[in-house]
């Protein structure tokens, strides 16, 4: 039986010897998965109809965090420079960053959704770029890179895209189905939690980076910073008001009147009590709380999405008492969220009838599979770092909650140690995540890098729990 040290060494070898790819002699990121046929220096050699050999922005988030922790910031800088180089500078989507990129005939070629299944643009990729840029600058202190015109111009261009006027005055960002990590139809259109949380992080990060401009802040830049921070503030208030639920808020919502007109209403989205699912009672318990998946007129999405909630804790959207309620919820529902392989991406899965209606019979998203309640090992480290951050900052943390959460995460770590036997699979299916996903890719990069990060943040002496700390709001 391999020791944990051997497993960690194997994961590091996969990253540094097979997953990282070069462009013009420099490492610029990692492929989504390492091909079975790839040799020691041949990453991403997939069949032409697969894109797992490309450098995906979303998939490289854990890679870049690990490289910073492993003192390889130059790779992170090269990756970010590629994203800046490939930002769209013309057209209606001017300012968007690429979903992914690869080298073809000596040139970087980007995908903005034109090659994706369903031709859906990955909105989260563009939102992650400024967040990673801020994380890089905060961790390295590289103010010279932050002040360069290429970055500052790109940030302004992106703000022009996301701050432009819309028909609605709401602070959120509306997207089509499948526009983020949930990348196939799953009834997540509208204002899904993950996108709103990333939008908040991007706005705060851009404001912090614009302040670092070497030449100083002029009136125009000061106006952009104020606009970004104002949008972020309103967005946080919106999320805490409309997305955050506990047993108490649900009881109150069940009593709200409907069919109200005017500007002084208590039930702004005209939600009927019948839409509140019965499973919430046990799921929330007496002390649990979380941000629901989506808010839409008459149709709130009460599903629990792991990544959006963990990021809301890391970005400081949730107060410390709310973070405690979230951790309590995850601990008390470990049977559903952890099972035989952490971490379930959302709960509960759409039922068979719902699956047929909302996914268009998508075979990959059958109940309990892929994004419809599948288990994704790459998500575990987000929970671990959210716990470490809370543990470090809570002024009156409950010892019982801390010990319970620590124990559950240690159980997760032991479960993750079966990943090498499962060929570092992308995701796991079934009611408890016992089976390797039917269409899962082997040697998935964010699986073995997530394994490395989970180990790092579960160590008692773990550092950098504040790596996602956003810049001050004023």
Q: Find where tokens 């379930």 sit.
A: 344
Q: Residue 474: inside a domain, yes or no? A: no
Q: Residue 472: inside a domain, yes or no? A: no
Read off the CATH number of the domain in which 90 is found: 1.50.10.10
pLDDT > 90 fraction of the chain, expressed in percent and rounded: 85
pLDDT number for residue 118: 78
pLDDT number for residue 220: 85
Closest to 288 in 3D by CA, of 267, 261, 318: 318
Q: Residue 470: inside a domain, yes or no? A: no
pLDDT at 173 over 90: yes
Q: Residue 328: inside a domain, yes or no? A: yes
pLDDT number for residue 117: 77
Average pLDDT over residues 145-169: 92
Q: Residue 40: inside a domain, yes or no? A: yes
Mean per-residue pLDDT of the chain? 93
Query: How many domains, in total, are found in the chain?
Result: 1
pLDDT at 72 over 90: yes
Average pLDDT over residues 92-110: 94
Average pLDDT over residues 234-258: 96
pLDDT number for residue 239: 98
- Quote the CA–CA distance of 236 and 145 in Å, as a whole number: 29
Q: Tell me the angle at which helices 380-393 and 320-332 cross, rounded to the nearest 10 degrees.
A: 140
- Residue 42: pLDDT band with limits 50, 70, 90: very low
pLDDT number for residue 46: 44
Average pLDDT over residues 38-58: 63
pLDDT number for residue 460: 81
Q: Which structural domain range is residue 448 located in?
A: 4-458
pLDDT number for residue 163: 93
Strand ranges (DSSP E) for 162-253? 244-246
pLDDT at 215 over 70: no
Residues 6+ apart with CB under 8 A from 423: 436, 442, 443
CA distances from 70 to 55, 58, 443, 449 (A): 20, 20, 21, 12
Q: Residue 164: inside a domain, yes or no? A: yes
Closest to 87 in 3D by CA, of 58, 115, 71, 110: 110
Average pLDDT over residues 158-167: 90
Q: Residue 469: inside a domain, yes or no? A: no
pLDDT tens string 411-466: 999 999 999 999 999 999 999 999 999 999 999 999 999 999 999 999 887 778 89
- Residue 50: pLDDT band with limits 50, 70, 90: low
Which runs of consecutive H residues, i.e. helices, occur in 263-305?
A: 280-284
- Residue 126: pLDDT band with limits 50, 70, 90: very high
pLDDT number for residue 40: 40
pLDDT number for residue 462: 76
pLDDT number for residue 217: 63
CA dihedral 47, 53, 59, 62 (to 10 degrees): 130
- Quote the CA–CA distance of 82 and 17 in Å, as a whole number: 21
pLDDT number for residue 216: 57
pLDDT tens string 18-36: 999 999 999 999 999 997 6
Q: Residue 332: inside a domain, yes or no? A: yes
């Amino acid at each position: 039986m391999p020791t944990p040290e051997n497993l960690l060494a194997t994961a590091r070898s996969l990253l540094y010897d097979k997953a990282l790819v070069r462009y013009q002699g420099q490492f610029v990121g990692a492929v989504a998965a390492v091909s079975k046929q790839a040799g020691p220096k041949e990453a991403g050699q997939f069949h032409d109809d697969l894109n797992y050999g490309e450098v995906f922005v979303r998939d490289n988030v854990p890679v870049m965090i690990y490289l910073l922790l492993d003192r390889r910031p130059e790779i992170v800088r090269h990756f970010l420079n590629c994203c800046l180089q490939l930002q769209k500078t013309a057209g209606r989507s001017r300012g968007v960053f690429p979903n992914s990129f690869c080298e073809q005939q000596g040139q970087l070629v980007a995908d903005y959704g034109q090659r994706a299944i369903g031709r859906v643009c990955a909105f989260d990729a563009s939102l992650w770029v400024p967040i990673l840029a801020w994380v890089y600058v905060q961790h390295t202190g590289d103010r010279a890179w932050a002040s360069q015109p290429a970055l500052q111009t790109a940030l302004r261009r992106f703000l022009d895209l996301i701050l432009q006027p819309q028909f609605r005055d709401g602070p959120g960002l509306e997207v089509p189905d499948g526009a983020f990590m949930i990348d196939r139809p799953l009834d997540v259109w509208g204002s899904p939690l993950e996108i709103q949380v990333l939008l908040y992080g991007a706005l705060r990060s851009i404001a912090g980076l614009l302040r670092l401009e070497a030449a100083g802040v002029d009136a125009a830049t000061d106006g952009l910073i104020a606009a970004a921070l104002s949008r972020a503030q309103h967005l946080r208030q919106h999320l805490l008001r409309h997305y955050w639920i506990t047993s108490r808020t649900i009881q109150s919502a069940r009593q709200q009147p409907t069919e109200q007109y005017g500007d002084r209403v208590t039930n702004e989205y005209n939600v009927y009590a019948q839409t509140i699912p019965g499973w919430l009672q046990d799921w929330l318990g007496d002390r649990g709380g979380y941000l629901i998946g989506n808010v839409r007129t008459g149709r709130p999405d009460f599903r629990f999405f792991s990544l959006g909630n963990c990021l809301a804790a890391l970005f400081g959207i949730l107060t410390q008492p709310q973070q405690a309620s979230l951790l309590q919820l995850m601990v008390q529902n470990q049977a559903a969220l952890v099972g035989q392989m952490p971490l379930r991406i959302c709960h509960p899965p759409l039922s068979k009838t719902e699956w047929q209606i909302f996914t268009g019979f998508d075979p990959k998203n059958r109940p309990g599979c892929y994004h419809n309640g599948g288990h994704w090992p790459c998500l575990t480290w987000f929970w671990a770092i959210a716990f470490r951050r809370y543990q470090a900052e809570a002024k009156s943390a409950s010892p019982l909650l801390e010990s319970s959460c620590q124990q559950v995460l240690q159980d997760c770590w032991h479960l993750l140690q079966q990943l090498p036997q499962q060929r570092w699979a992308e995701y796991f299916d079934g009611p408890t995540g016992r089976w390797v996903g039917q269409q899962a890719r082997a040697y998935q990069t964010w699986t073995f890098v997530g394994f490395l990060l989970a180990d790092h943040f579960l160590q008692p002496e773990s550092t950098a729990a504040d790596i996602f700390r956003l810049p001050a709001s004023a």
